[in-house]
Amino acid sequence: MSQSLRPYLSCVRTTLTAALSLSNFASQASERHNVPEIEAQTSPELLLNPLTVSRNAEERVLIEPSVNSVRISIRIKQADEIEHILVHKFTRFLTQRAEAFFILRRKPVPGYDISFLITNFHTEEMLKHKLVDFIIEFMEEVDKEISEMKLFMNARARYVAESFLTPVILFLIPLALQHYTIANNIFFPTPLCSVPDLRYTAPRPRSNSLRHGSQQRTPANAERQHTRL
C-alpha cells in the first residue's frame, strides 16, 4: 500500500465500521416485510446522513447508512480514456456475477463505478470486520488490477502491430534488393548496367526457305526427287 493511499483507506475503514451498526427493523410501509431502507426510501426518519470520503476529484467513496442497511459506492481512478474503458469492462464483468459476491449491487449509484449493499442479515451471518476488510482490499487491488490490464493491453497492441507489419517488410525486401545495394543499413541504387533490360523485343521473322511446306534444295533432296520420278 502506498503512503498516499494509507490515510484514505484508513478513513474509509473507520467510517464504514461505525456505519455497520445495523439492526433487524421491519418495514413501516409493508406489513411482515423487512427491506433495506436505504433502497426503499419510504421512511426518511430511518435514513442517516450520507458520508463522502474523497481522495481527489476522481477517487471517492459514498457511504449511505440507514437503520438496517448500508450502501457503499466507489469511484475508481480513471486517468485516461483507456482506463475508463477498462474500468467499465471490469465492473460490468463483476456486476454480471453479483450473486457470487452476496453484497455486490448489480447497478451502481449514478456517478460511481460500483456499489455494495450490506444489510443486517449479512452482518448476522458474516463477521462485520471481515466485511470491512473485503471492501478495503477491493479498493486496494482494483487500481493494481486496472494498471496490469492496461500494461497487458499495450503489450498486446504492440505485438499485433509488429505482426501486421512483418509480412509486408519481408515481401518488400527481396524486391528492393533487386535494384538496391545495402551498406550500413542504407539502401544505395544499383548502377543501371546491372539492371536487366525489360524492354519488349519483337520476334525475328522466319526466312523464306523455312516457310511451311517448303524445303531447302540440297543434293540429297534433289536425288530423292529424281528417284521418285
Highest mean pLDDT out of 64-73, 161-170, 194-203: 64-73
Looking at residue 146, which CATH number applies to its domain?
3.30.1460.20
- Per residue in 88-103, pLDDT tens? 999 999 999 988 889 9
Residue 225 forms part of a structural domain: no
The pTM of this model reads 0.67
Q: Are 64 and 50 in contact (CB under 8 A)?
A: yes
Q: How many residues does the chain have?
A: 229
Residue 105 forms part of a structural domain: yes
Residue 53 forms part of a structural domain: yes
Residue 45 forms part of a structural domain: yes
DSSP letter, residue 189: E
Identify which of 221, 65, 78 has the alpha carbon closest to the alpha carbon of residue 143: 78
Domains held by the chain: number: 1
- Is residue 197 over pLDDT 90? no
Rounded mean pLDDT, 182-202: 53
pLDDT value for 193: 45
Residue 151 forms part of a structural domain: yes
- Across 14-31, b (16+ Cβ under 10 Å) vs e yields ebbeebbebeebebeeee
- Is residue 16 over pLDDT 80? yes
Residue 208 forms part of a structural domain: no
Mean of all residue pLDDT scores within the chain = 80
pLDDT value for 12: 94
Residue 65 forms part of a structural domain: yes
Residue 17 forms part of a structural domain: yes
Using CA atoms, how far apart are residues 97 and 146, in angstroms rounded to an integer? 19
Task: Please give the residue range of the domain that contains residue 92.
Answer: 5-24+36-155
